[in-house]
Amino acid sequence: MIKVDKLTKTYTTYERGGTFREALKSLVVRKKKMVEALKEVSFEIGEGELIGFLGPNGAGKSTTLKILTGILYPTSGAVEIMGYVPWKDRKKYVANIGAVFGQKSQLLFDIPPMDSFLLNQSIYNIPEQAFRKTMNEMVEMLDLEKIVRKPTRQLSLGERMKCEFIMAMLHRPKIVFLDEPTIGLDVIAKGKIRDFIHEQNKNGTTFILTTHDLEDVEQLAKRVIVVNHGEIVFDNSMDHLRKHLGDKKSVHVTTRNPLPSLAQPGILIRKQHSNRDVELELDLSKLKLNEFIKEMNEKSIINDMSIESLEIENIIKDLYSQE
């Protein structure tokens, strides 16, 4: 459905000095600076996928997103989405996609969301019957019956974001791009929106999700692409991502007697709260879990213990910090 081949984007910026002298100088000679936002990025996405698209700030995430939505021209490389080249057939192409930006509202602030929906109906030229059907379905799914006729400015952030989803999906797009869709929302609103995305994905809509909220990714994405410094550093399933740093566990243990020496292969101390209380990372390939427990219990007597898979946060941190 989406084919991206050796996508490259470079642009030039001009450095401008802050002092008066530098400013005068910049009028005559401007220092050019080439920025390589994307370096030969390639990937493919199939129909019905739900992809988490991650990367630290300035990694090339939003540049990719802008190219895929037809907003930006690349420097080189090829993109084909549903048979269209986004930036070439922009108008025809974007009729088939939707986008939700957590930080940029598509709703008009002073009027009810309903009126914004109607405006979108004419812009996308959606037949009345289909429009009503889609809207009623979504409004019901998101519990918005009483909300859509109130002015947007009176809505809570969560209610507003739900309406943004309807706004972006009224024309039944086959692909929906989500950029930070749950930013600033409370737990309940987040959950509701995640359910909605799941539901729509089940019905066949492809989602590409960019976010800094790793919980979104963990709960939604089946596959994850991570970009850093304009290149793809990871592209595989969620399960693979979890095992990316090897088979490791995160352990929190408190003991009755002081802890033994933990300086041994396979143990990485994260936080030592006291000599009877420690958080650590266990590499199971070097130290088996049962051996670790046995040793701890024999030497110090375990009071309490929790064992969890490594938080995805640590894996992502590791991917982001790679040069």
Partner 1 sequence: MSRNLSLPSPEKQQAYRSTFLQWFKIYIHGMKTAFASRMAYRGDFFMSMFIMMVVELFGPLITLLIYHNGASFPGWERHEVLLLQGVFLLSRGIAFPFFMGMVWNTISRVQEGTYDLLLIKPRSILQMSIVTAFDSEDLGKLIGGILMFAYAMKSVPTPPFTNWVSFLLLFIFSLLSMFAFGLFMSGLGIVWIGNYRIYEIFMSVMDFGLYPRSIFNKLFQTIITWVIPISLLGSFPASALLGKEISGVLGAMLCAIGFLIFGLWFYHRMVRNYTSAGG
Site residue total, partner 1 (CB under 8 A): 47
Query: Closest separation between CB of residue 312 and partner 1, Å?
Result: 29
Query: Closest separation between CB of residue 264 and partner 1, Å?
Result: 49
Strand partners of residue 208: 51, 177
Mapped onto helix, strand or coil, the DSSP state of residue 215 is helix
For partner 1, which residue of 14, 18, 20, 91 counts as binding (CB under 8 A)?
A: 91
Q: Which of 68, 70, 73, 57 is nearest to 11 (CA)?
A: 73
For partner 1, which residue of 66, 162, 192, 248 counts as binding (CB under 8 A)?
A: 66
For partner 1, which residue of 24, 35, 268, 269 counts as binding (CB under 8 A)?
A: 35
Query: Closest separation between CB of residue 99 and partner 1, Å?
Result: 5
Cα–Cα–Cα angle for 90, 94, 98, nearest 5°?
Answer: 150
For partner 1, which residue of 25, 39, 40, 71 counts as binding (CB under 8 A)?
A: 71
* Contacting partner 1 within 185-204 (CB under 8 A): 203-204
Query: Closest separation between CB of residue 316 and partner 1, Å?
Result: 24
Cα–Cα–Cα angle for 125, 199, 140, nearest 5°?
Answer: 65
Q: Which of 52, 46, 55, 62 is nearest to 224 (CA)?
A: 52
Strand partners of residue 35: 11
Q: Which two tokens stand for residue 107?
A: 């709703």
Residues 260-279, one symbol each (x = binds partner 1 by CB under 8 A, - = not), give: --------------------
Interatomic CA distance for residues 209 and 201, integer angstroms: 12
In the complex with partner 1, the residue whose CB is nearer, 123 or 268, is: 123
Interatomic CA distance for residues 197 and 178, integer angstroms: 10
In the complex with partner 1, the residue whose CB is nearer, 8 or 254, is: 8
Relative to beta strand 175-179, strand 206-210 is parallel
Q: Are 202 and 122 in contact (CB under 8 A)?
A: no
Mapped onto helix, strand or coil, the DSSP state of residue 198 is helix
Residues 122-151, one symbol each (x = binds partner 1 by CB under 8 A, - = not), give: xxxx-x-xx--xx----------------x
Helix or strand holding residue 50 (H, E): strand 50-54
Query: Closest separation between CB of residue 60 and partner 1, Å?
Result: 10
* Contacting partner 1 within 167-186 (CB under 8 A): 171-172
Residue 37 binds to partner 1 (criterion: CB under 8 A): yes
Cα–Cα–Cα angle for 103, 196, 52, nearest 5°?
Answer: 60
**Choices 39-47, 85-93, 216-224, 284-292 (CB under 8 A): range interacting with partner 1:** 85-93
The residue with tokens 């596959």 is: 223
Applying CB under 8 A, which residues contact partner 1? 9-11, 13, 35, 37, 63, 66, 69-73, 87, 90-92, 94-95, 97, 99, 101, 104, 106, 108-111, 115-116, 118-119, 122-125, 127, 129-130, 133-134, 151, 153, 171-172, 203-204
